[in-house]
Amino acid sequence: MILSTRNPAPQKHAKRRKRVTAVTSPMAPLGVGVVVAYFFFSFQKDLSMSHHLSSSSTQSPTTHVSTLKSVDRQYSQKTKCKYHGNCPSNTVCENEVCIPFMPTNHITSNHSQQHERCVQTCLAELVKDEYFYHGTEPKIVRTFPSNSPLSGCVVQFERQRVSQPPKNIGTFHSWIDTRLRNVVRVDMEQDMAMESNKNPDFPLVWNAYCSPSCKSDTDCSSGNRCIGRPEQRIAAPVPIHSEPKSCHTSATSYNNHPKDMIIVTGSDSAYYSALQNFAASLKYWAPTRKLVIYNLGMTNLQLKNIKKWTNLHALHWESGIPTTLPPHVNYLKNYAWKSIIINETVHEYKSIFWLDAGATFTGNIDSIEEIIHRNGIFLVRGQDEDMKRLSHPKTYQALGYEKETFRKGLKSPHFAGGIQGHVYPSRFIDSLVIPNAKCALDPDCIAPTGSSLGNHRYDQTSLSILAYQTTVQATHYTEYLAAGRDQLNADLFQPSEKIMWTSRGNCNFYFQNVQLKV
């Protein structure tokens, strides 16, 4: 079965299919696919899904759907990768293959000096990460040498919520300057994840894979090289500083790939002026980046002008929101279209960053790409203190939860729907991106009867529920986002530490100073 949100070629009397089967061959006619996808999402709400993008670049992007008993088990068969973020849980990208970092048998710790040094370096960074990201501290369960051929160590731990900062934690800004060095990946222990789905009170265990520091190849075991992040990948005002070099079989993990992250946004006619400034700010700070724009109701003249912009890569939905989508998607204020677009583009372009057209770039965006490629996801939050105040209970129910018991006793700010980065494949596709698009296609999930902006946040609510799931617990990177002009450099030609600004269409500086057209 195929899911596509593009306008298909006309096709009469498309029949509703009674059964869903996996599609791994080249794409079937899109007209049937879209209609089938809509009925699938409407009537098969509890079906697990896995998606795969056709290799054809000449056709509209499609989504193949099949039932799965275990997402990770199926996903682990896809061993090819470009980035750590492409890999399933408890694996990392090494030499363009996803390799498990946990040892095949959980033997007792290796107490060699090299292992102990790796563990201590790992813990020094992990303690800060856990506190500043999650408000927790790690309770160590045990440690392991990492699985061959990886060099490094694994620290297994439980998360304990804390009310006071751990000793010698340092400041938030000092942590920003020293993070993303040795801690490569933090994933939930898979056996624990499956058990937690049955019993919410089951104690969760996490695995942190850390790479060992080195100064030269002689510090590494046979077959490994001492590699550091290329300098051009870290030239950003909010630093991902050049990390200590570490031992690897190749430079795969350190992004020796072209900057391939596609910038995606959408606009109607009312936001066209903001879109012009958005595109100009992108061109100023990232002149080689490709921009994909979705038409949510712009005029023919506006579309004609957009086609002249030098950084435009593609203009989608040129005729407007596809008529094949459910009617509620046409109402822009329920934001169903956004989750649908994000799902579509990540399958087509593989590495994408969505930013609302009313926002403005205010610095070099390489750091965003680095995080997306490293972790598979980039989200921010902070617009409220607790999502429970503005979230409809029926959205929780549609996603399998109850509002009263969801993260009970914990303040959970909404994640922002208008700032998202993803790669395909990643462990977040099946757990977050696809379910959010599925919710967007169902009016009872995205916009339940009785919901309004006075009691609900639509796509942000569904995104946040999925991001806070016990088996997901997505990290946020709100430190890159400015909520006001006073948080930015007085001279907008100079980079700001906060490299995105929620200007809400109230900035035209870059449009006035940057030439968009050929």
Contact between residue 76 and residue 98 where contact means Cβ atoms under 8 Å apart? yes
Torsion 191-196-197-199 (CA) sign: positive
Pairing of strands 351-355, 262-267: parallel
DSSP 372-395: HHHHSEEEEE-SSS-GGGG--HHH
Segment 20-25 shows an average pLDDT of: 30
Per-residue pLDDT of 147-160, as tens digits, reads: 877 878 999 999 99
Distance in angstroms between the alpha carbons of the first and the last residue of the chain: 41
Contact between residue 125 and residue 115 where contact means Cβ atoms under 8 Å apart? no
Give the span between the Cα atoms of 192 and 60, in whole angstroms.
39
pTM for the whole thing? 0.81
Give the range with max mean pLDDT: 80-94, 168-182, 271-285. Answer: 271-285
DSSP annotation of 118 reads: H
DSSP annotation of 476 reads: B
| CA-angle at 496, arms to 169 and 253, nearest 5° | 65
Question: Residue 216: what pLDDT?
Answer: 81
Q: How many CA atoms lie within 13 A of 93 on its CB side?
A: 22
Per-chain mean pLDDT for the chain: 81
Three-class DSSP category at 54 = coil
Q: Is 18 left (phi over 0), alpha (psi -120 to 50) or beta?
A: alpha
pLDDT at 36 over 70: no
pLDDT at 52 over 90: no
Question: Residue 194: what pLDDT?
Answer: 60
The torsion angles phi and psi of 486, rounded to 5 degrees, stand at -70, -10
pLDDT bin (cut points 50, 70, 90) of residue 75 is very low
The torsion angles phi and psi of 125, rounded to 5 degrees, stand at -85, -40
Neighbours of 92 (CB within 10 A): 28
pLDDT at 235 over 50: no
pLDDT at 248 over 80: no
Nearest to 192 by CA among 207, 212, 182, 177: 207
| Cβ-proximal residues to 366 (8 Å cutoff; 6+ apart), any chain | 232, 233, 234, 235, 236, 240, 259
Delineate the domains of the chain, giving CATH numbers in brackets: 1-69 (no CATH), 100-254 (no CATH), 262-513 (3.90.550.10)
Contact between residue 255 and residue 83 where contact means Cβ atoms under 8 Å apart? yes
**CB neighbour burial string for 299-336, b if at least 16 within 10 angstroms, e if fewer:** eeebbeebeebebeeebbbbeebbebbbebbbebebbb
Give the span between the Cα atoms of 315 and 408, in whole angstroms.
43
Contact between residue 350 and residue 372 where contact means Cβ atoms under 8 Å apart? no
Identify the residue whose tokens are 């008529």.
Answer: 323
Q: How far is CA 494 from each of CA 289, 482, 507, rounded to the nearest angstrom? A: 19, 15, 16
Per-residue pLDDT of 448-483, as tens digits, reads: 999 999 999 999 999 999 999 988 999 999 999 999
Question: Residue 258: what pLDDT?
Answer: 57
Give the span between the Cα atoms of 326 and 276, in whole angstroms.
29
What tokens were used for 18? Answer: 């009674």
Q: How many CA atoms lie within 13 A of 163 on its CB side?
A: 0
pLDDT at 39 over 50: no
Give the span between the Cα atoms of 291 and 282, in whole angstroms.
8
Per-residue pLDDT of 349-404, as tens digits, reads: 999 999 999 999 999 998 899 899 999 999 999 889 999 999 999 999 999 999 99
pLDDT bin (cut points 50, 70, 90) of residue 25 is very low
Identify the residue whose tokens are 């400015």.
Answer: 482
Per-residue pLDDT of 111-145, as tens digits, reads: 688 888 889 989 999 999 999 999 999 999 999 99
Question: Residue 277: what pLDDT?
Answer: 98
Give the span between the Cα atoms of 221 and 230, in whole angstroms.
22
Contact between residue 458 and residue 336 where contact means Cβ atoms under 8 Å apart? yes
Nearest to 463 by CA among 476, 450, 453, 454: 476
Contact between residue 432 and residue 467 where contact means Cβ atoms under 8 Å apart? yes
pLDDT bin (cut points 50, 70, 90) of residue 105 is low
What tokens were used for 147? Answer: 């699985």
pLDDT bin (cut points 50, 70, 90) of residue 178 is confident
Three-class DSSP category at 155 = strand
Query: Poorest-confidence range of 87-96, 215-224, 318-327, 402-411?
Result: 215-224
Segment 478-493 shows an average pLDDT of: 96
Segment 426-438 shows an average pLDDT of: 97
DSSP annotation of 149 reads: T
pLDDT bin (cut points 50, 70, 90) of residue 3 is very low
Per-residue pLDDT of 277-332, as tens digits, reads: 999 999 999 999 999 999 999 999 999 999 999 999 999 999 999 999 999 999 99
Question: Residue 257: what pLDDT?
Answer: 53
What tokens were used for 429? Answer: 């596709």
Per-residue pLDDT of 500-517, as tens digits, reads: 999 999 999 999 999 998
Identify the residue whose tokens are 């099946």.
Answer: 430
| CA-angle at 236, arms to 231 and 237, nearest 5° | 135
Question: Residue 213: what pLDDT?
Answer: 73
Contact between residue 429 and residue 346 where contact means Cβ atoms under 8 Å apart? yes
